[in-house]
Amino acid sequence: MAQHDETYRDSTPELSNRLFFRLYQCANMLHKTGTRALEDHGITTQQWAVLGALTRRSAQGGVAVGDLAAFLLVSRQNLAGVLSRLEAMNYVERTVSESDSRSRLIRLTAKGRALWDENMRPVIADYYDDAMKGFSTEDKIHMIHYLDKMIGNFRAIDPDHDADDAKG
């Protein structure tokens, strides 16, 4: 038994390397195939993520840029460019917070909501079906659990994470 444990320990860096490489490959394929799936609507995967985040029930009244960046795990700078493009397409708008007139919120416009509900949602559902072929419900639940655990570990090793949260 001790020999088996030792063999496992010796292979852990290689196993971790393979896992991280697969995650990298999946992220690249998600970007490539996701953008292709929505190309008829002129939407990238980054824009898809923002629009999707803004369709959440908790985002109905709008979301502060810092909160949206924290939810998406992106920098405010990267998000700013995506938001500007979506705003130019009239899919999102900046509004004044009802509770704090100094605060600006991002929310979907009627055009953005229609794009999501009528055009993107069916395409995304088909894309998910194709991308998750062969995965059981239990597989998906386990995958979410493991990815959530990994995100927690990334947050723990990210020296900017606390600073980003403080800016929120």
The CATH classification number of 32-133 equals 1.10.10.10
d(CA 77, CA 20): 26
**pLDDT bracket for residue 166 (50, 70, 90):** very low
Backbone angles phi, psi at 132, to 5 degrees: -105, 15
d(CA 91, CA 85): 9
Q: Which amino acid is at 25?
A: Q
- The confidence score (pLDDT) of residue 162 equals 54
Domain boundaries, the chain: 32-133
**pLDDT bracket for residue 2 (50, 70, 90):** low
Cβ neighbours of residue 43 closer than 8 Å, sequence gap 6 or more? 35, 51, 115, 120
Cβ neighbours of residue 145 closer than 8 Å, sequence gap 6 or more? none
**pLDDT bracket for residue 168 (50, 70, 90):** very low
**pLDDT bracket for residue 7 (50, 70, 90):** low
Instruction: Check: CB of residue 154 under 8 Å from CB of residue 53.
Output: no
Cβ neighbours of residue 106 closer than 8 Å, sequence gap 6 or more? 54, 62, 63, 64, 65, 68, 83, 92, 93, 94, 95
Q: What is the pLDDT of residues 90-147, one digit of tens each?
A: 999 998 877 777 778 999 999 999 999 999 999 999 999 999 999 999 999 999 999 9
Q: What is the pLDDT of residues 13-33, one digit of tens each?
A: 888 899 999 999 999 999 999
Average pLDDT over residues 51-76: 93
- The confidence score (pLDDT) of residue 70 equals 93
Residue closest to 130 by CA, chosen among 12, 8, 37, 6: 37
